[in-house]
Amino acid sequence: MFFIIGFIVVVASVIGGYVLHHGNLGILWQPTEFLIIGGAGIGSFLISNQPKTVTGSLKRLKGLLKGAPYKKASYIELLTFLFVTLRLMRTKGMLAVESHIENPHESSLFSQFPGVHHNNHAVDFICDYLRLMTMGIDNPYQIEDLMTAELDVHHKEAHTQAGAIQTLGDAFPALGIVAAVLGVIITMGSITEPPEVLGHLIGAALVGTFFGILLSYGFVAPMGKFLDQFAADEHTYIECIKAAILSHLKGNAPVISVEYARKCIGEKEKPTFIEVEEACNNAPAAE
């Protein structure tokens, strides 16, 4: 939603100011300049990144229309799920969760919490470490080292994808200059034309510089920044799961482990202790 609002504000401010300054909108329509800048930008993006980075960054761009991936309600659901899961493990033993982690997409436990259930990364993370625990690995420090290594790899990949978009944004001003220089070359080839013709050609050339800078600082670079924040929010979500599992391994009660997880959440999205307590008290029992 904010992406759409921001897009409209940028376009309206730039074009509106230009029109109010008695600018001619027709001169801004230069398809060949757009082709040079856009095509060169896409080409440089493909040259500088591995295929997995290209596809991953493009997939993440879908999040622009969704806004922040996790809100307070998302975290309340996650904390409630963790409470129910840890309570089941504490009262009925690790084997009670084995059927759920072996086939989480058909699990009655996961299906009660759709936000968690549809988060493939979170589900895989939870199942992997609960599976290790069912295999007898109960040393919290060993598990923590393994979790930290995995999260570092995932965070690095996400940061690389965001960085790829930001690098593309940084390239557009220079590519705009390339388009402008080509336009000047064409203008110099028509140096014998009257001033009004030369003025039109020079104006068309300068559109390349304008478009490259606007595309960079108005759209692409902010999109890269958004992806970086999106990755940080995803990291926080998984950190909550990590904190709860490690607390459980250290012998804490489910309600205490959930509080450990709650402390990992940023202030804006963090539910209060009372809100989490009420949600956990009303949570259905798992089997």
| Angle made by CA atoms 265, 268, 273, in degrees to the nearest 5 | 60
Average pLDDT of the residues in 140-148: 92
- Is the pLDDT assigned to residue 216 strictly greater than 90? yes
Residue type, 59: K
Alpha helices per DSSP H over the chain: 2-20, 31-48, 51-60, 72-92, 98-102, 108-111, 114-117, 120-134, 140-188, 195-214, 221-249, 254-262, 273-281
- Is the pLDDT assigned to residue 101 strictly greater than 80? yes
Average pLDDT of the residues in 38-52: 93
Q: What's the confidence (pLDDT) of residue 2? A: 81
What is the reported pTM? 0.84
Residues 61 and 51: their CA atoms lie apart, in Å, by 16
Residue partners of 214: CB distance under 8 A and separation at least 6:
10, 14
Q: Comparing C-alpha atoms, which of 171, 163, 160, 176 is closest to residue 43? A: 171
Percent of the chain with pLDDT strictly greater than 90 = 57
Report the sign of the C-alpha dihedral through residues 122, 123, 124, 128, in that order.
Answer: positive
Residue type, 189: G
Q: What's the confidence (pLDDT) of residue 94? A: 82
Confidence label for 286 from pLDDT (cuts 50, 70 and 90): low
C-alpha dihedral, 203 to 205 to 209 to 215, nearest 10°: 90
Q: What's the confidence (pLDDT) of residue 287? A: 61
Percent of the chain with pLDDT strictly greater than 70 = 99
Q: What's the confidence (pLDDT) of residue 284? A: 75
Average pLDDT of the residues in 182-194: 85
* φ, ψ at 191 (rounded to 5°): -65, -20
Convert the pLDDT of each residue in 272-284 to its tens digit: 999 999 999 888 7
- Is the pLDDT assigned to residue 111 strictly greater than 80? yes
Confidence label for 93 from pLDDT (cuts 50, 70 and 90): confident
Low-confidence winner among 88-97, 109-118, 207-216 (lowest mean pLDDT):
88-97
Convert the pLDDT of each residue in 251-272 to its tens digit: 999 999 999 999 999 988 999 9
Q: pLDDT averaged over the chain?
A: 90
